[in-house]
Amino acid sequence: MRKQTARPRPKGTMTTGSSRVVGAAAALAVAVAAACASGGVRPFFQPLPGALVDTVMADPADVITEVTVLVAAEGLAIRWNSSAEGYLETEWYDVVARRPGGENSLQPQDVIKLRFFSDPVRQGETRLASEAVTRLTVDPSMPSRESEIIVPPGHPGEQILRRVIAGVRSRFGTPPP
């Protein structure tokens, strides 16, 4: 019987142990990329035309943190909130019953949702775009955003939104003209 000798490995090839490490690292990289690609809390859409826009003297994360406190004080439940991404969205809120819910109400004009988009303008200044929306109709066959409109002037949802914005302005101030 002839004795087998180990052949030298070609330069640049890996052993079984090192290929497992590389495989694990590749799997981790794919998982991280998938997590990042899934996005965060903030949606890809922009505020609707007619949203209220203001500039305040604070960082975007601090503005959303303050909005969170003010919205909760108004009795609205928060659906999505990320200070790091500069975004807050409430659950649907019935302005007549003054309670969260009502997304399937037969009176969609009485049900609102608030959204806040906080973006840096320059060091220490933030552009806050805020919207109070209602729906024209409750149609489960279409995405909710497609049936949303800004509440009309004087609507109770607009009044809530203006109180929250006033609280943010009072807390942080606005840039000089």
At 150, give phi and psi (nearest 5°): -65, 140
**Axis-axis angle for helices 60-73, 156-172 (nearest 10):** 130
Q: How far apart are CA 157 and CA 111, in angstroms?
A: 8
Task: Report whether 21 contacts 88 (CB < 8 A).
Answer: no
Cβ-count burial of 79 within 10 angstroms (0-12 exposed, 13-18 middle, 19+ buried)? middle
- For the chain, the first-to-last Cα distance in angstroms comes to 95
Q: How far apart are CA 109 and CA 155, in angstroms?
A: 9
The reported pLDDT for the residue numbered 173 is 96
CB atoms within 10 A of CB 169: 15
Q: How far apart are CA 74 and CA 21, in angstroms?
A: 53
Q: How far apart are CA 3 and CA 7, in angstroms?
A: 12
Helix (H, G, I), strand (E, B) or coil at 163: helix
Per-residue model confidence as pLDDT tens digits over 109-135:
899 999 999 999 999 999 999 999 998
Per-residue pLDDT of the chain (177 residues; tens, 9 = 90+): 555 555 665 565 555 555 454 444 444 343 333 334 446 889 888 999 999 999 999 999 999 999 999 999 999 999 999 999 999 999 999 999 999 988 888 788 899 999 999 999 999 999 999 999 998 887 778 777 888 999 999 999 999 999 999 999 999 999 988
Task: Report whether 103 contacts 165 (CB < 8 A).
Answer: no
- Check: pTM over 0.95? Answer yes or no: no
What domains appear along the chain, each with residue ranges and CATH number? 52-172 (3.30.310.80)
Q: How far apart are CA 103 and CA 74, in angstroms?
A: 18
